[in-house]
Amino acid sequence: MSKQEIQEIRKHQIIKDDEIDLIALIKTIWEGRKTIYYTVGVCVFIGLLIAFLSPAKYTASATLLPSSEKKASNLGGLSSLAGMAGINLSSMMGQSSGIPAEIYPQVVNSYPFLNEFIHEKFHFEDYAEPISIYDYVVADTIPSLGSLIVKYTVRLPWTLKDAVFSTTKEKRYVDYGVLNMSEEEQKAWEYGLSIFSISVDEETGLVRIKTKVNERVLAAQYVQTGVELLQKYIINYKTQQVRENVEFVTERYIEKKLEYEQTQLAFFDYKDAHRNVISERIDPEFQRLNDAYDIASTVYKNISQQLEQAKIAVKEETPVFTVLEPAIVPYEKSSPRRMMILVLSAFLGGIIGSGIILGRLAWDNVKNKW
């Protein structure tokens, strides 16, 4: 800003009697417009660099409608009347059999979910064959040629120091009995943690899974695999108790089936061996084998029925998911939004330029008072 411009600006008294004179403010900014032109030009130039040098990002998403089944209620007509009034007595009394959708984000961000996700294989553009996220992150940590040159030239003293201390102090793996991730696992886990964005609509119960990455096909793969794993984990959580019951009943079924077959074989072998023999001495043995066979048969039939009921319970407790919007490969970039970046850059440049003009005016006023 030239001295002439500063003198012109000083002529305008912006604040008069604790009030701001808008006309004087506009004249002051207009007379220092060259400063605004410079700041706008600089900001637009920086915005152009950001808009055209930032990597392209693609967004893919999927929308799920979880099942909202309810257990049978003993409230009778009272539950229907309360429902007409907008009151859900079943949920108030804890009779909802479904898993709340609010815990889905916790499931997606949990270590078991992400650990399984990062070991799934995906098609990356830089690789001919599908690889896992873990292998991709580990391969990305391999030092490049430039970093190796810097390591053995500029940073040679520190490289030698690290080599000496690494040979004297060897790292030993210690099993502490708790989860202890390696450095590579930690990086892969953090990468997986940053992939998904999951939101739940409290009114409709819709669950939306979204991801934003620099490859459009990879974005759809991530979302599709994430939906499949989420369904798997929710089903496992929901049916864990009934599945454990099936396993327990199955073990008892195998035991009782073996006992039944053994008692059946012993009973019929005894009958065949004494088919034409009539004696009071064999009657107690015959009765004992017959009773054992009847008991084993009854128990075997009961445990068979329990096994079938347990299997049916697994089917009944398995939640059903409806995929309203499947994952689709995006064709348009979601970022960077170049036009918006340029508009914001120009606006920011104007604000900065105006601030510089008013700041200089205030500083000059302070110096004059001194």
Long-range contacts of 68-76 (CB under 8 A, 24+ apart): 68/96, 68/98, 68/205, 69/97, 69/98, 69/319, 70/95, 70/96, 70/97, 70/98, 71/95, 71/96, 71/97
CB 333 within 8 A of CB 268: no
CB 193 within 8 A of CB 222: no
Taking the whole predicted model, whether its pTM rises above 0.75 is answered as no
> Over its length of 370 residues, how does the chain's per-residue pLDDT go in tens digits?
455 555 544 445 555 555 666 677 777 777 778 888 889 899 888 888 888 887 888 999 999 988 765 544 444 444 444 444 444 444 444 444 556 788 888 889 898 999 999 999 999 988 889 999 998 888 765 454 455 555 556 566 666 666 665 544 445 556 667 777 878 888 888 888 889 888 888 888 889 999 999 888 999 999 999 999 999 998 888 888 899 999 999 999 999 999 999 999 998 888 887 776 655 555 778 888 888 889 999 999 999 999 999 999 888 888 888 888 999 999 888 878 878 888 898 899 888 888 888 787 777 766 666 6
Helix, strand, coil abundance in the chain, percent, nearest 5: 65, 10, 25
**Residue 336 preceded by cis peptide, ω within 30:** yes
Residue 257 CB: number of other CB atoms within 10 A? Answer: 15
pLDDT of residue 89: 44
